[in-house]
Amino acid sequence: MIALQRVSKSFDGGVSFAVREVSLEVPERSFLAVVGESGSGKTTLLKLINRLIEPDAGSVSIAGQSAKSLPPHALRRRIGYVFQGIGLFPHMSIAENIGITPRLIGWPEAQIRARVGELLDLVALPRSYLTRRPAELSGGQRQRVGIARALAARPAIMLMDEPFGALDPVTRDTLGAEYRRLHDDMRLTTVMVTHDVMEAVLLADRIVVMRTGNIAADGPPHELLTASDDPAVRTLMEMPRRQAERVRALLQERTARG
């Protein structure tokens, strides 16, 4: 379980807060989506978990242990991290990219090789890609490698920051669905930041809405879709429903005419 307790972070010495006294618990094997406008603090919240950003106040604990009990690099080796920029290492082959965390930990080479092959199968890339360079891959293929790299050292937790944001809609939909299956099969705990409410609704078990560094709403998708006290949250959450209704209406019109 990931637990944040009254965590705050300011980038300007306390004048304004990217995250302000946020407390949040993410149970094991749950899939949490964090949504909100740009600047609402959702990416900062995510990075506080694997200490890419250190909090000014409050504490973060993972599986009951303080995140500070390990050096940051050791903590990060146990947590998968996928982000929109992907950040594949251009001077390494696909196999080297995927195997990087196990190699840092010091797995035997044979075990790394076997794991890399297994992961390519898992993210549905042909084994012939092992020796290719990232530059030779399409955007969707690269993010598949990014996910494989994050999963390589068998982390229990995955942090994803707009993981499918730069992909075309079809790839995005496919990859999202495939990842959700991996999440279930591998019994992962996933925290995914996205600005796409539809994506959050379709993939997550639970949605947290961030606004100016605070949690504005927190609940299962169907609950937030139907009822919220906060008018802004309601507007935000109504969007996917309105879109879905418009699509349905269009389809019915076609059927009626036809």
Partner 1 sequence: MDERLASALHLLPEYLSQHVLLSAAALGLGVAISLPLTVAASRHAGIRWPVLGVASVIQTVPGLALLALFYPLLLGLSSLCRHFLGFGFPALGFLPSLLALTLYSMLPILRNGVTAIVGLDPAIIQAARGVGMTPGQRLWRVELPLAAPMIMAGVRTAAVWVIGTATLATPVGQTSLGNYIFSGLQVENWVSVLFGCGAAVALAIVTDQLLALVELGVARRRPRFAWLGLGLLLAGVAAAGAVPLAAGGRAGYVVGAKNFSEQYILAALIADRIRGTGYEAAERADLGSTIAFRALAANELDVYVDYSGTLWTNILGRTDAVPRAQMLRDVKEELRRRYGVQLLGPLGFENAYALAMRSDRAAALGIRTIADLARLAPRLTLGGDLEFFARPEWRLLQARYGLAFHARREYQPTFMYRALMSGEVDVITAFSSDGRIAADHLTVLEDPLHAIPPYDAVLLLSPRRAADPVLRRALSPLVGAIPIGLMRQANLQVDRTSDKFTPAQAARWLTAAAHLPEQ
Nearer to partner 1, 96 or 209 (CB): 96
Q: Minimum distance from CB of 83 to partner 1 (Å)?
A: 7
Residue linked to tokens 């507007």: 235
Q: Is position 183 an interface residue for partner 1 (rule: CB under 8 A)?
A: no
Q: Is position 100 an interface residue for partner 1 (rule: CB under 8 A)?
A: yes
Q: Is position 215 an interface residue for partner 1 (rule: CB under 8 A)?
A: no
Q: Which span sits near partner 1 by CB under 8 A: 99-107, 167-175, 195-203, 235-243?
A: 99-107
List the one residue from 40, 43, 44, 50 that touches partner 1 (CB under 8 A). 50
Of 184, 182, 74, 175, nearest in space to 119 by CA:
182
Binding pattern to partner 1, positions 58-87, x when CB under 8 A? -------------xxxxxxxx--x-x-xxx
Q: Is position 179 an interface residue for partner 1 (rule: CB under 8 A)?
A: no
Within positions 149 to 168, which residues make up the interface with partner 1, using CB under 8 A?
149-150, 153
Q: Is position 90 an interface residue for partner 1 (rule: CB under 8 A)?
A: yes
Q: Minimum distance from CB of 52 to partner 1 (Å)?
A: 6
- Residues of this chain that interact with partner 1 (CB under 8 A) are 50, 52, 71-78, 81, 83, 85-91, 100-101, 104-105, 149-150, 153
